[in-house]
Amino acid sequence: MPDTTLQTVPSPPPLTSFSEDEILFRDNIRQFAEEKIRPRVKEMDEQGVFNKQLIQEFFQLGLMGIEIPEKFGGGGGKFFDAILAVEEFSRVDASAGVIVDVQNTLVNNALLRWGTEEQKKYYLPKMATEMVGAYALSEAGSGSDAFALQTKAELKGQDYVLNGRKLWITNAKEAGLFILFATIDPGASYKGITAFIIEKDCRGFTVGKKEDKLGIRASSTCELILEDCRVPKSNVLGDAGKGYKIAIETLNEGRIGIGAQMAGVARGAWEYAAKYAQERKQFGKTIAEFQGIQFQLAQMATEIEAARLMVYNAARMKDAGMNFVKEAAMAKLFCSQVAERVTSLAIEIYGGYGFTKDYPVEKYWRDSKIGKIYEGTSNMQLATIAKLLLSGK
C-alpha cells in the first residue's frame, strides 16, 4: 500500500487576534487529531462506523461540553473554542468534526439557552461527560421548508404523545439525548412547532436504519421513528409552540460550525496536495516547480484563508453578543464552496492516484459535498443573505 502519512505543511494562523490560551487549545486539539484520529480515519470511513473509544476520549478531553459551565462539569469555554475544535478535527476527519460540532453548537447551545434550571442541572453534566446529543428537525417532506414537518405531539394528561418520523439525523446511533421538533397544532403552521428533550430509551422511540452515504461515512445519519412515544411535559424545551424560534436561532449558530468543518476539510486536502506536488516528478522536476501547479496551490490557499477568517469573524461576533446571522450564512455558503473547489483540485494535482481510495484526497472531496446541503442548503443561505442585505439590516 502507498504511504499516506502526512507531515504537516506549515499553516500559520490567520492574522486575527488569538489569545495564548486559544493557541494552546488549538495546538493540543491538532496534536490529538494527528495522533489519535488520523490513524483510524481510513478504517472508520470504510466501515461506516465511528470508533467508540475516540468518542470516550472526546469526553475525557472536555470537547463534548466546551461551553457548558464548570458548575455543570463542562469546560466553561467560548463558542470560538468549539469552532477551533471543529476545524482542527475536520482537517483530519470531517466525521469527527461533525460529532463535536452537533454536540456543542446545536444540542448544548439549545439546552444552555432555553433549558429550565432543572433541565440544565439534570442534562448538562451528562452532556459534558458521557452523553452524545442529536438534533432532530428534518423529515421526508420538510427539508429547506423546515416548518412543514408532520411529526405530531398531542397532550394527554401530564405527557405529550408523539407520532411521526425524522430523517437525516446526525449522531443518531451514538446519541443518548435528542432535541426533537414536533407540532402540537398542525393548523398553526410554525406557531405549533415545539421542541422536546427525548432520551434514547424513551418508550415508543426507535432509531431506524443508518444511511449509506457518499461522505462523512463514519458519522451516523439515521431515521427516527416515534410510535405513541410518551414525553413528560417537563421535557418541553422552551415554551410550547415556540420551537420555531429555537430551531432558527440554534441553526444560525450551527452554520458557523459547518463553516469551520468545511474550512478544516479544505485545509486537510490542501496540505496533502502541497506535499504531493513537492514529491511527484514529471519531466525531470517536481510538479510544484511548474507555475501552473504553483498558481493552483496559491489560489487554493488564498480561498482557504478567506474562508477561515469568515468563520472566525462570525464566531467572534457570536461570543460578543452581536447580530451574526448574515455573517454565519456567508461563512457557511463560502466555506462549502471553497471546500468543494479545493478538494476537487487536490484530486487533480494527484492525477490518477487521486481518483483511487489508496490515497486520501478523494475522501476529502466526498466529505466536502455535504457542506452545501445540511444545516441549510446554499440556496437557503443566499436567500438569507439577500433578505438581510436588501432590508438594510
- Residues taking part in catalysis: 375
Distance CA 393, CA 388 (A): 5
**Residues 314/316/322/326 CA torsion (nearest 10 deg):** 0
Q: Are strands 132-136 and 175-183 parallel, antiparallel or unpaired?
A: parallel
Read off the C-alpha cell for 386. Answer: 439577500
Helices (H), 278-377: 291-319, 325-350, 361-368
**Do residues 147 and 190 make contact, with C-beta atoms less than 8 angstroms apart?**
yes
Q: Are strands 159-170 and 132-136 parallel, antiparallel or unpaired?
A: unpaired
Three-state DSSP state, 321: coil
Distance CA 153, CA 362 (A): 43
CA-wise closest residue to 265 among 378, 358, 367: 367
DSSP assignment letter at 349: H
CA angle 12–341–328, rounded 5-degree value = 70
Read off the C-alpha cell for 372. Answer: 452545501
- Please name the residue that has the C-alpha cell 480561498: 303
Residue 211 has a CB neighbour count (10 Å cut-off) of: 17
